[in-house]
């Protein structure tokens, strides 16, 4: 849902329940700005992205400028401005995974889905990204879904199986 | 050391070892109770200082000493736990949180009591999703049972623990980058001094400790400093979680006394090198630490001995094995790609240097390498980082060390690769060489025929790799 820069009055984008969650975090820190990352995570979880309007609303909640939120948000490369797939999966390409074929598994996954790393499948089900070390080297070459599922050691057939499983949608870990 | 009794991992294979009930039934929260109800905070600091517990996060700074740097007249103290474990091949802290979260929480409680911190922030990398959920539950359990909250054990001491999730940036594992990130900013490391103990998070005196370091603390309180110092090697005391991954039969995390050799880790604990091959090299403690050659695998992995091999240090004690079929060029390509991606961009030598190293490795790997590239890489690795004084934090030193070690130990192999993997389409063009040698792009293009004809040999400077960007 693109925002209209011409409009002067827009309804709030972040739902009240999430606004409350963000407000509840403020007393935990000596400065409201510290809630930037937690707020971005909450918004991202809800919209599967952080639209610019939501970013401005976070700024207002935390009493900082939208530029400050944008500065932080853009640094991490974690919060896209357009929605990602229902499941986001990171395929690791750092040393231990690389040595055991991580780069090839990333290629394989992307080729099999017809996308490039960082892209989302046409049906909106799956986003595949590369990652630097995910800290799951005991599963190398490994991949991590954003619902917490860990996959590995991957080969071509288990990568296929992983993609098929992830296409079913996110799952509760516990 | 067959008589070594695992301490930090003792609850790992116990059913429901991550629950408060099981943790308490196995003696958990006795050390914190003892500290809070019978000891003065300074006495707790004293015991930890006497144990000479050194930080397990990579730098190896003595933990107790760090606590004494806090100003005596401070009004408030904060503890930031560094749970941003992102050093490639390292996963011991993840397991510590997933398998025994209460041991970690007890460590936080004692550390906070010792340093008089009433708030602890656990900065956890986002990717540790399972660990986050387990910790969330464990903190709630501990709070409900009175191990956290107000007036803990009737001692008058209060403590809250808040979990704070990162967003996928390696640099946030640097303690001041972590603090900046916690404050809601980009994770740019700060110039030190002031050190966090004087002015840290939210400008308050702050202790930043690693998870494994804190997990050691309850055991030191319970068994004493002398017990801790009876484990390990001189100057490197205590148990340590070693991770082994890469070309081994079994990728594991194993607890051993500090000072085990890389060879023992590989052969005894990781089931040997995979596919019946031999090891060509091993990364000793995360890729920032450099590279051990096969001949150096008998070195002790502790805070002292490892330096004799030219490696930067023990780091995170995460060993990655490269088998004899692996090209050192691939290893350097991978490490340079990592650092080029993870450099935070604050200091120009690191931001530009790591990208430059990566582009050079990409060109070498694809067949456009020149022998003089290795001199340039050597020169860059000598001039990049906090040690030569060109950057604010140590990320660039970590980027440089793989090159320093690989060029010292494997240069003939890399030269051989360059000689035998030439692809004319990947070589730098005469125009690029002319520009790199100082001819302005404008002039070079306008007089391309004559300039190209007389372009000096591409020796003076590095040049681009044909527009391929990382």
How would DSSP label each residue in B104-165?
HHHHHHHHHHHHT-SEEEEEE-TT-HHHHHHHHHHHHHHHHTTSSEEEETTTTEEEEEEEEE
Residue B206 is assigned to a structural domain of this protein: yes
Are B52 and B158 part of one and the same domain?
Answer: yes
- Which chain A residues are Cβ-neighbours of B283 within 8 angstroms? 95
- Sketch the domain layout of chain A as residue ranges: 14-76, 87-167
Strand order in the sheet with B252-257: B252-257, B239-246, B318-323, B279-283, B292-293
Q: Identify the CA nearest to B88 among candidates A100, A130, A94.
A: A94
Interchain proximity A95–B130, CB inside 8 Å: no
The larger pLDDT score, comparing residue B323 to residue A7, is at B323
Average pLDDT over residues B303-312: 95
Q: Identify the CA nearest to B37 among candidates B165, B151, B140.
A: B151
Task: Please write the tens of the pLDDT for every residue from B432-450.
Answer: 888 878 887 777 666 655 5
Q: How confident is the model at residue B459 (pLDDT cuts 50, 70, 90)?
A: very low
Measured distance CA(B371)–CA(B427) in Å, rounded: 12
Residue B148 has pLDDT above 50, yes or no: yes
Residue B167 is assigned to a structural domain of this protein: yes
Asked if A137 and A97 count as a contact pair (C-beta separation under 8 A), the reply is yes
- Which chain B residues are Cβ-neighbours of A146 within 8 angstroms? 129
Residue B109: which CATH number?
A: 3.40.50.11540
Measured distance CA(B432)–CA(B463) in Å, rounded: 6
- Residue in A36, A75, A134 nearest the CB of B127: A134
d(CA B91, nearest CA chain A) in Å: 5
Residue B259 is assigned to a structural domain of this protein: yes
Asked if B278 and B323 count as a contact pair (C-beta separation under 8 A), the reply is yes
d(CA B50, nearest CA chain A) in Å: 32
d(CA B199, nearest CA chain A) in Å: 14
- Fold type of domain A87-167: Glutaredoxin (3.40.30)
Are B375 and B315 part of one and the same domain?
Answer: no
Roughly how many angstroms between the first and final C-alpha of chain B, as a whole number?
46
The number of CA neighbours under 13 Å toward the Cβ of A11 is 4
Task: State the DSSP string of chain A.
Answer: ----TT-S-----S-HHHHHHHHHHGGGSSSGGGGHHHHHHHHHHHHSS--HHHHHHHHHHHTS-HHHHHHHHHHHT---SS---SEEEEEE-SHHHHHTTHHHHHHHHHHHHT--TT-B-TTSSEEEEEES--S-GGG-S-EEETTS-EE-S--HHHHHHHHHHHTT------
The larger pLDDT score, comparing residue A96 to residue B461, is at A96
The packing angle between helices B129-144 and B101-115, to 10°, is 60
Average pLDDT over residues B144-157: 98
Measured distance CA(B53)–CA(B65) in Å, rounded: 9
Interchain proximity B338–A132, CB inside 8 Å: yes
Interchain proximity B186–A72, CB inside 8 Å: yes
Residue B380 is assigned to a structural domain of this protein: yes
Q: What residue ranges in B355-450 does DSSP mark as E strands?
A: none
B239-246 and B318-323 beta bridge pairing: parallel
3-state secondary structure of B243: strand
Interchain proximity A140–B90, CB inside 8 Å: no
d(CA A49, nearest CA chain B) in Å: 13
Residue B9 is assigned to a structural domain of this protein: no
Burial of B266 (0-12, 13-18, 19+ CB in 10 A): buried
Output the pLDDT for position A174.
Answer: 66
Average pLDDT over residues B300-328: 96
Output the pLDDT for position B202.
Answer: 98
Task: Please write the tens of the pLDDT for every residue from B29-59.
Answer: 999 999 999 999 999 999 999 999 999 999 9
Output the pLDDT for position B319.
Answer: 98
- Which chain B residues are Cβ-neighbours of A147 within 8 angstroms? 129
Range of the structural domain that residue B359 is part of: 328-420
Top-tier CATH class for A14-76: mainly alpha
Are B290 and B198 part of one and the same domain?
Answer: no
Residue B3 is assigned to a structural domain of this protein: no
User: By percentage, how much of chain B surpasses pLDDT 90?
Assistant: 89
d(CA A169, nearest CA chain B) in Å: 17
Q: How many CB atoms lie within 10 A of CB B195?
A: 16
Interchain proximity B184–A35, CB inside 8 Å: yes
Structure tokens at B25: 């039934």
A30 → chain B, closest CA residue: B202
Q: 3-state SS string over A143-162?
A: EEECCCCEECCCCHHHHHHH
Residue B65 is assigned to a structural domain of this protein: yes
d(CA B52, nearest CA chain A) in Å: 28
d(CA B261, nearest CA chain A) in Å: 19
The 8-class DSSP code of residue B62 comes to B
Measured distance CA(B157)–CA(B134) in Å, rounded: 25
Asked if B55 and B313 count as a contact pair (C-beta separation under 8 A), the reply is no
d(CA A174, nearest CA chain B) in Å: 8
The number of CA neighbours under 13 Å toward the Cβ of A105 is 33
Asked if B113 and B72 count as a contact pair (C-beta separation under 8 A), the reply is no
Task: Please write the tens of the pLDDT for every residue from B329-368.
Answer: 999 999 999 999 999 999 999 999 999 999 999 999 999 9
Residue B452 has pLDDT above 90, yes or no: no
Residue B105 has pLDDT above 60, yes or no: yes
Residue B274 is assigned to a structural domain of this protein: yes
Q: How many CB pairs under 8 A join A and B?
A: 149
B342 → chain A, closest CA residue: A132
Question: Omega before B10 cis (within 30°)?
Answer: no
- Which chain A residues are Cβ-neighbours of B330 within 8 angstroms? 98
Per the prediction, chain B carries an average pLDDT of: 93
Interchain proximity A135–B162, CB inside 8 Å: no
Q: How confident is the model at residue B428 (pLDDT cuts 50, 70, 90)?
A: confident
Measured distance CA(A133)–CA(A135) in Å, rounded: 6
User: By percentage, how much of chain A surpasses pLDDT 70?
Assistant: 94
- Residue in B130, B168, B335 nearest the CB of A173: B130
Output the pLDDT for position B447.
Answer: 64
- Residue in A30, A34, A41 nearest the CB of B165: A41
Are B265 and B371 part of one and the same domain?
Answer: no
Question: Omega before B172 cis (within 30°)?
Answer: no
Output the pLDDT for position B464.
Answer: 47
Residue B244 has pLDDT above 90, yes or no: yes
- Which chain A residues are Cβ-neighbours of B163 within 8 angstroms? none
Mutate one of A42, A137, A148, A174 to test the B interface: name it (highest B CB count within 10 A). Answer: A137
Structure tokens at B321: 């094995």
pTM of full prediction above 0.90: yes
Output the pLDDT for position B433.
Answer: 81
Are B220 and B317 part of one and the same domain?
Answer: no
Structure tokens at A169: 């949608």
Interchain proximity B246–A96, CB inside 8 Å: yes
Total domains in chain B come to 4
User: By percentage, how much of chain B surpasses pLDDT 70?
Assistant: 94
Task: Please write the tens of the pLDDT for every residue from A74-107.
Answer: 999 899 999 999 999 999 999 999 999 999 999 9
Are B71 and B210 part of one and the same domain?
Answer: yes
Measured distance CA(B399)–CA(B350) in Å, rounded: 9
- Residue in A132, A140, A173 nearest the CB of B129: A173
Average pLDDT over residues B120-130: 97
Task: Please write the tens of the pLDDT for every residue from B158-189.
Answer: 999 999 999 999 999 999 999 999 999 999 99
Are B37 and B103 part of one and the same domain?
Answer: yes
Please give the C-alpha separations between residue B25 and each of B19, B38, B244, in angstroms, as whole numbers: 10, 21, 31
Task: Please write the tens of the pLDDT for every residue from B188-233.
Answer: 999 999 999 999 999 999 999 999 999 999 999 999 999 999 999 9
A72 → chain B, closest CA residue: B186
Mutate one of B9, B16, B121, B127 to test the A interface: name it (highest A CB count within 10 A). Answer: B127
Question: If you search the block for the tokens 């003065």, which residue do you land on?
Answer: B40
Are B146 and B56 part of one and the same domain?
Answer: yes
Are B83 and B192 part of one and the same domain?
Answer: yes
């Amino acid at each position: 849902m693109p925002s209209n820069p011409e409009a002067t009055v827009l309804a709030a984008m972040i739902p009240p329940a999430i606004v409350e969650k963000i407000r509840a975090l403020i007393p935990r820190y000596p400065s409201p700005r510290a809630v930037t990352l937690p707020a971005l995570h909450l918004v991202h979880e809800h919209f599967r992205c952080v639209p610019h309007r939501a970013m401005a609303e976070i700024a207002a909640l935390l009493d900082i400028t939208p530029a400050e939120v944008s500065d932080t948000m853009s640094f991490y490369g974690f919060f896209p401005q357009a929605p990602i797939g229902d499941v986001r999966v990171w395929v690791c390409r750092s040393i231990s995974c690389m040595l055991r074929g991580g780069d090839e598994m990333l290629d394989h996954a992307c080729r099999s889905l017809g996308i490039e790393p960082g892209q989302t499948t046409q049906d909106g089900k799956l986003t595949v990204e590369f990652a630097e070390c995910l800290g799951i080297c005991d599963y190398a070459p490994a991949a991590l879904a954003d619902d917490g599922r860990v996959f590995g050691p991957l080969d071509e057939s288990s990568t296929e199986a992983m993609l098929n499983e992830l296409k079913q949608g996110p799952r509760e870990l516990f | 050391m067959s008589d070594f009794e695992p301490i930090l991992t003792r609850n790992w294979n116990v059913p429901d070892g991550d629950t408060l009930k099981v943790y308490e039934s196995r003696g958990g929260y006795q050390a914190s109770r003892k500290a809070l109800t019978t000891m003065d905070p300074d006495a707790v600091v004293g015991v930890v200082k006497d144990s000479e517990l050194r930080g397990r996060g990579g730098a190896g700074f003595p933990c107790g000493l760090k606590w004494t740097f806090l100003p005596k007249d401070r009004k408030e103290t904060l503890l930031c736990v560094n749970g941003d474990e992102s050093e490639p091949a390292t996963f011991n802290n993840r397991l510590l949180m997933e398998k025994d979260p209460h041991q970690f929480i007890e460590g936080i409680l004692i550390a906070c009591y010792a340093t008089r911190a009433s708030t602890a922030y656990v900065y956890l990398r986002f990717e540790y999703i399972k660990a986050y959920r387990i910790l969330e539950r464990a903190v709630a359990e501990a709070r409900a049972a009175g191990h956290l909250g107000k007036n803990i054990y009737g001692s008058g001491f209060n403590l809250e623990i808040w979990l704070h999730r990162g967003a996928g940036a390696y640099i946030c594992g640097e303690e001041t980058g972590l603090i900046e990130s916690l404050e809601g900013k980009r994770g740019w490391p700060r110039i030190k001094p002031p050190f966090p103990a004087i002015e840290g998070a939210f400008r308050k005196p702050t202790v930043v400790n690693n998870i494994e370091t804190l997990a050691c603390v309850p055991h030191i309180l319970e068994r004493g400093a002398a017990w801790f110092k009876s484990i390990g090697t001189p100057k490197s005391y205590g148990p340590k979680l070693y991770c082994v991954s890469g070309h081994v039969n079994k990728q594991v995390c194993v607890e051993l006394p500090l000072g085990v050799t890389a060879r023992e880790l590989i052969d005894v604990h990781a089931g040997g090198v995979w596919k019946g091959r031999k090891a060509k090299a091993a990364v000793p403690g995360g890729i920032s630490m450099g590279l051990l050659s096969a001949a150096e695998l008998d070195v002790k992995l502790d805070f002292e001995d490892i330096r004799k091999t030219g490696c930067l240090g023990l780091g995170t004690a995460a060993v990655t094995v490269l088998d004899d079929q692996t090209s050192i060029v691939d290893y350097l390509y991978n490490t340079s790609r990592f650092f080029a991606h993870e450099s935070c961009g604050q200091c120009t030598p690191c931001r530009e240097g790591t990208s430059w190293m990566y582009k050079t490795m990409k060109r070498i790997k694809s067949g456009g390498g020149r022998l003089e590239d290795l001199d340039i890489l050597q020169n860059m690795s000598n001039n990049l980082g906090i040690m030569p004084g060109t950057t604010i934090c140590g990320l660039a030193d970590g980027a440089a060390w793989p090159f320093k070690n690989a060029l010292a130990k494997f240069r003939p192999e890399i030269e051989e690769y360059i000689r035998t993997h030439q692809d004319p389409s990947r070589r730098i063009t005469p125009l690029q060489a002319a520009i790199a040698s100082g001819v302005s792009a404008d002039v070079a293009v306008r007089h391309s025929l004559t300039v190209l004809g007389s372009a000096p040999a591409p020796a003076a400077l590095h040049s681009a790799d044909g527009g391929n960007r990382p």
